[in-house]
Amino acid sequence: MQLKIQSIAELPTAASELLHYCLNKRVFAFLGEMGTGKTALISEICKLLGVTGPVSSPTYALINEYESSPKIFHIDLYRLTTIEEALDIGIEEYLAQNHYCFIEWPQLIQPLLPPETVYVKMEAISENARLMTIQIK
């Protein structure tokens, strides 16, 4: 599935379509260069799932937890350099729970991701437009 958005104003609609397409999926891997809108999209998804507080990038904390039912874990692996570091923060436990896991920069833990992971590749096609390719492997 592909979604094309022309501006940030279209993110809520894209988030809704993504959740509808991936009904009952819990692990989402977000791929894309810096600045393509991964965190902005995750923020919109979290709003749709009932998060009322702010949603921010967990680049330094590595993992943000948001209250909803089920819980949401927003994971950013940008600063990690080895899979062992991911194991040290308990990545396997997060993935094994029946909570949402939204993972930015997931390439490092590719071998640990469950088969039903939803991959969302974001590409900038102009200053404001983005192309999202969604794949469930």
Domain residue extents for the chain: 2-129
- Give the span between the Cα atoms of 13 and 20, in whole angstroms: 11
With b meaning 16 or more CB within 10 Å and e meaning fewer, what string describes 15-51?
beebbeebeeebbbbbbbeeebbbbbbbbbbbeebeb
pLDDT in tens, the chain (137 residues): 999 999 989 999 999 999 999 999 999 999 999 999 999 999 999 999 999 888 888 877 899 999 888 999 999 999 999 999 999 999 999 999 999 999 999 999 999 999 999 999 999 999 889 999 999 97
- Give the span between the Cα atoms of 24 and 76, in whole angstroms: 22
With b meaning 16 or more CB within 10 Å and e meaning fewer, what string describes 73-102?
bbbbbeebeeeeebeeeebeebbeeebbbb
pTM (whole model) above 0.75: yes
Right CATH for 2-129 from 3.40.50.720, 2.60.40.10, 3.40.50.300, 3.50.50.60: 3.40.50.300
DSSP string, 36-95: SSHHHHHHHHHHHTT--S-----TTTSEEEE-SSS-EEEEE-TT--SHHHHHHTTHHHHH
